[in-house]
Amino acid sequence: MVDEELNEQSLDLTHSTQTISGVATVDGQKYAVGLMWQPVQNLDDPIPEIRETIESEPDADLYCFRQTSVAQYGVGRSALGHKSGMPSLAASVAGALSRYESFCGVFKVKEGWWFVAVRNNLILAEEDVLFATEEEAQGAFSSMMAVPDWDLRIVPEDWNIDGTTQRSLDELVHKGRKIRLQEINAARRTYFLIFVAAIIVLALFALVYVLVNAWRNMAPKQTIKPIETPTVIQPVAPEPEKPNPWEELVDVTSLIKVCWDNAYQVKSISFPGWSLGLITCDKEGLKTTWTRNGNEGFLSWIRFGIKDYQFTDLSVNASVGNPTATGSIAFSGLPIVASFPTLTPQQLLEDLTEIQQYTNMGLQFSQQTLVDPPNRPDGSRPPNQKVFNYFSFSASSDYTPWEWMQFFEKFSGLELIKIEYNPSNDTTTKWRYEGRIYAK
């Protein structure tokens, strides 16, 4: 009901006096504002609907794609100063405040007063607005306050509005992921260039084939007497070179999804007289334990419970007289992807240190090396040995894996090794993550 009221009210909030410029400067960097935001209907192939929206809007020629728990895209205009490669300010702030499903705020920028509203993790269609005056921004904020149930309201401190807080826009854009505008025809041009390159390769192959056949027909034929050839011992082919570790990583999003779904299914199972322990996920599967509460729990209750819940993927091992039972779920078919490192060890150190300083997520990290294959027993190095630099990281947090996605997606060459979930932990550290980030 609230969302229906919000949609009706949003139609009346026509910010007719907003500035013509669509660019706001934050900490010396220019960001795109004033985008028109729309939810994605077809996640498998969103480009056609984005193209249709752009063609229906005057002067629209750019877009950016925001992939969160609810996907959406923003449409920009070069006439407002938007450029390909320019990051969206609304998307960056929404990412930094992803723990709040609904928030709205006003921020002072060099070019004026910027207003943004996010509802149920979606940037509202026409609530990414740059105003020329403070009075206009106050009016837009007051209008949006008619809608109830905001998780966070942000305004300058000197406005003195109860129930609001002030946040630093500089700090928020450092925390949020930068989602950049691009041309809608960029993908089409890429496909066209690939097609042209394929045609050229086929033409060259055909030309070489014709020339080789022509040369063979022109060369004089000679009668070659067969000769007895000695037996030649073929050399042993060298072993194929092993791929670099970042070329065969389990897709982080897929691992998080399968762990999230199965962990909450396991948590929902209740065996009388048994307590659920730590749940651990890695690329092989999920593992957990149940501990018997004194003399209350019985083995038969576990068997009856599994049959009653009809959780066929869960395998539970327990024996008579044993105070613990172990459970496991095998993960199969997880996508394997290549994610090539893009940052040097020094750049990784600086980025991780900055994240550790700007946030309070309990992030710990250290630089390490991986030697593959390892040294021989006599200490000598094999000829094909490689040394890889990486940073291992771990964090205990109350943030769910989905709220950590902006950290996982920030770095190329990131491998998520383990996810731990402690359903019985009453503190703010129910989740723990371990992984590594490879350096180039």
**Whether residue 34 has pLDDT greater than 90:** yes
Residue 393 corresponds to which tokens in the numbers above? Answer: 């990281």
Domain boundaries, the chain: 2-186, 243-440
Per residue in 190-244, pLDDT (tens digit) is: 445 555 555 776 767 777 777 767 766 665 555 555 566 666 666 655 556 678 8
Q: Is 168 exposed, middle or buried (0-12, 13-18, 19+ CB in 10 A)?
A: exposed
Please enumerate, as own/partner, the contacts of 80-85 that have beta carbons within 8 Å and a separation of 24 or more. Answer: 80/20, 80/21, 80/22, 80/23, 80/34, 81/21, 81/22, 81/23, 81/32, 82/22, 82/23, 82/32, 82/35, 82/181, 83/32, 83/181, 84/180, 84/181, 84/182, 84/183, 84/186, 85/180, 85/181, 85/182
Per residue in 253-309, pLDDT (tens digit) is: 999 999 988 888 888 887 888 888 999 999 999 999 988 887 777 777 877 777 777
Whole-number pLDDT of residue 68: 78
**Whether residue 177 has pLDDT greater than 50:** yes
- All residues at 6 or more sequence positions from 114 whose CB lies less than 8 Å from its CB, including other chains: 24, 33, 89, 106, 107, 108, 129, 130, 131, 137
Average pLDDT over residues 358-369: 86
SS3 for 100? coil
Whole-number pLDDT of residue 222: 57
Per residue in 53-63, pLDDT (tens digit) is: 999 988 899 99
Q: How far apart are CA 387 and CA 403, in angstroms?
A: 33
Q: How far apart are CA 252 and CA 6, in angstroms?
A: 35
Whole-number pLDDT of residue 184: 79
Whole-number pLDDT of residue 44: 75
Neighbour count for residue 96 (Cβ, 10 Å): 21
SS3 for 287? strand
Residue 286 corresponds to which tokens in the numbers above? Answer: 């999920």
Whole-number pLDDT of residue 16: 41
In one-letter notation, the amino acid at residue 288 is T
Average pLDDT over residues 74-92: 93
Band of residue 429 on the pLDDT scale cut at 50, 70, 90: confident
- Share the mean pLDDT of the chain: 83
Per residue in 376-427, pLDDT (tens digit) is: 888 788 888 888 999 999 998 888 898 888 889 889 999 999 999 998 766 6
- All residues at 6 or more sequence positions from 337 whose CB lies less than 8 Å from its CB, including other chains: 249, 250, 251
Per residue in 145-155, pLDDT (tens digit) is: 988 899 999 99
- All residues at 6 or more sequence positions from 279 whose CB lies less than 8 Å from its CB, including other chains: 263, 266, 267, 286, 287, 288, 420, 421, 422, 423
Percent of the chain with pLDDT over 90: 44
State the Cα torsion 360-366-372-376 to the nearest 10°.
-150
Whole-number pLDDT of residue 130: 95
**Whether residue 7 has pLDDT greater than 60:** no
Residue 408 corresponds to which tokens in the numbers above? Answer: 């996982």
In one-letter notation, the amino acid at residue 220 is P
Whole-number pLDDT of residue 343: 92
- Give this prediction's pTM: 0.47
